Structure 1
Amino acid sequence: MWKMYPDSQKRYDPWYDEWDICPQLTDEPVVEDYTNDDDGDNNNYGFPLPVPPQPPSQNSLSPPSPATIASSFQADLQRFYGGEDFAGHVFIAEGFEQVAFYRYGAILGVPPASRPPAEYSAFDHSKIQKYFGVLSMDLTERCVPTLSAFLSVALDRSTSSTISAAVFDLDPSCPQYLLKAGQAHPTLHLKLWRLSGVEYYRIRYNDEPDCWFDVIVDSTTAVELLRRQDIHSRASAIGLMVQKGVCFRTLYSPDRRDTFSLQRSPFGDSLGWRPRGFTATRHDYGQYIAQAYEVLHQLRGRAALLHGGIVWRLALEILGSNAAGRAVAGPSDDIFHFGQEFQPQRGGPFYDDSLPPGEVDIICGVYKLPSKSSDPELLSWWPHPNVFDTSGLAFGYWTPWCENWFQRRLERIKKGIAGPLPAKEWRRTLMFWKGVFPLQTAMLRKNAAYLSHVC
């Protein structure tokens, strides 16, 4: 059959490493001579007759050179992945003065006019930027003294009750104390839930329709929602948290007739194995985006939007801003096969969408490489959440500083000057400011203490 076609109708396909017969490539006809001769020796039964021998030509078929194959393969990569235009997401940060009040409870007043205490100058402009993840242009000088005093109180570096009452709305002596009449949210009701050994706060609002799932948050987010008196429904609260990159969960209490059958992820546990010395290109990045999109496009992909941090940011970058609406819809049917269980102290468990660890690895762009030990070496385009969530970018919400870092790295990847990094290198790269984690831990503790009087 192969010899029945002229060379002009044969094409080498480097993607599959094979030759194809493509009559459409030229107008040269295939020799077809259907004869009525009944002689069985001459009857070709409708198949093309062999092409007569042709003189040797400079264009005769020969295996392509390695350089030609490599060039063609790179062209295929560019065609398939190089022009991958994922949806993208434009992050719009809330003004920092609003964040300082709603998220932290900082009262940005005027420091004492004469001889202000040392707390008002304990932290300079640069350190305040690092603690709150705010860009220099967004931090006005007039806010620096009171934010310095607030950090002194939040980090337990001040014993002055006068200063605490002046800068922190959770201090009972503060004129804007959140437990005073008219200060806390009039329609939001919080309830402490202990699930699988962790404390959460269920949020519900008066006069909103019944909802088939519950929303739970940590203590800092619960107190923030108490301050935001313009929010009057769980849907609005979810919209705010998805916009800010805050972690939360949506829980479904299964009916006794529901059946659960755990399944393994069909996507594997990473982007796959690569040889030692592997150097990724921007074409590899395009392939990674395509694989991550397939994971995030699944019903359980909404779990990434609830995760917060780097997983949340990558989900919006790959799926687009409109994907945020999936969070409001509540747990998907995938909870029956991939859901995470939350066990209360009494009663049956709750479930929410969850991504298997291997799918989180795909979203973060993890490759496996052989190593000298039994464990593979891991390289990733983006930091894994267990690294990011303890880094100098773990503010509990997405800040302008986080976005600035994200966009700068994304631009370097697109230019082909940044590639996957090992976990150890990610930890060093994301160190930034070691004071971030202690501040967030202190705020969780202080907010939980306040909520003990509310719930």
Structure 2
Amino acid sequence: MSRCPPERDNQSTGPASTSPAFATAIESPSAFPTPAGSFPPVERNSGQREGETMDAFFQRRRQNVSTRALRETPQERKSRQQRETHAAKGAAPGKKGARVYVWEKSNGHYVRRAVGRNNQDDIWEEYGPCQRRYDSYYDEWDICEEFGPPSDADDDDDDFGIYLPYEQPTDSKSQSYSVDVPSRDNGPPDVDTFARRKQAETDLDLPITAVAKKFLGDSDLQISHETQFQNFRAFLAHCAKAKHPRDIPVTLLDFHQQDAELLSDWMVRVRRETLNGRLYYVISEAQDTLGLYVLLQSAVTTLEVVRQGWGPSMRDVMQHLLSRGVPFLTCFRSTEIPTGKPQGRNWYSGLGFRPANYTPNRLDYQSYTWHRDNFLRGPRGRAALLYGGVIGRLARTVVSEDEVLRGPSDAATIDGICLWDGHAQSAYWDDTLSEQEIDLICGVYHVATGR
């Protein structure tokens, strides 16, 4: 879990946003970033000017907001603050709420596009809280992958926490919550421990019940033990403020407890490595004999591997990840280090181009499924299954899990992805997909605009 980073001034650099036909298609990893091309046309009435970068757009907005604030009446300020309070709850704005804009990358530049009121609720959940920003002066939401990590990301142990909308106390005074956690021997806690616990919970703003249920994975969860649920809400509130796991009370986090199962011997070996500028959790067998590695970017998923006791073989770990649709990489190490761009391969451009105002028909769909399945039966079908999400679901109908369990193909070092820390004598390699191949799997057509 990760706290939202502070807003940055330079927002035009970051991970590419990919949303061809399915907004949930994940980014195709690449060790060789593509340089930006000419600035694409901006969307009419989006507020973005021709040739204006995302960084310049928000800088201009900040200047406009400063001017508006000076002219704001008390009634306007009250209305704006009410909008901010509502937005802080994290709920989708709905058809009658604030407008939502998504920043999509086109030709290497971010372009601001209106989602449309009928689509706002659908796209809302596809982005984490850190990737959504609200402007109460304009009553608009801006959404972009560049703004921050997804809700399950974990960038660094020293930046421990999560972003949560809070349920504010009903009065102006700080409200105290007690966390009644019994000791491990089921005996009553001593007076000093109880006093320290009460002091730690003072001024603690608990997340709203709906948000806490979402973290448990069930928004319709029926609470059978109110005290335990209160403890969980307190744990989330501590996570939101903590700079380090040590800042969370020992009664709420077993990282601190000497007899915790998490501190016992693990079934697999886990280490953190920074590869291609990103943090990965590298999982291998305890003896590291086969040379096959599972690489994850999610700290939450890595923690699940450890807590669930998956292993000791990488085959067991991969089967569990595949059954959950989790994106991961299966790599081998090679002393071959890339010195230039990867060799070319047959490129696809989705399902081709269509004229303006074209309406797809049944034959188009049949053609799409034939081309998609034919591609997935090839050597990179296993890479699609590793992507998880929508791409993994589509691949699952064609690709056998055995293709993944066998490890990377022989072509991985030719046109796959290389993950390298920049100084080691070897690097990790795995199969991958190009953006065009993702377009093909997701059924993307390129339709002329008629302009």
Q: TM-score, normalised by structure 1?
A: 0.47
Q: TM-score, normalised by structure 2?
A: 0.48
| Structure showing the higher helix proportion among its residues | 1
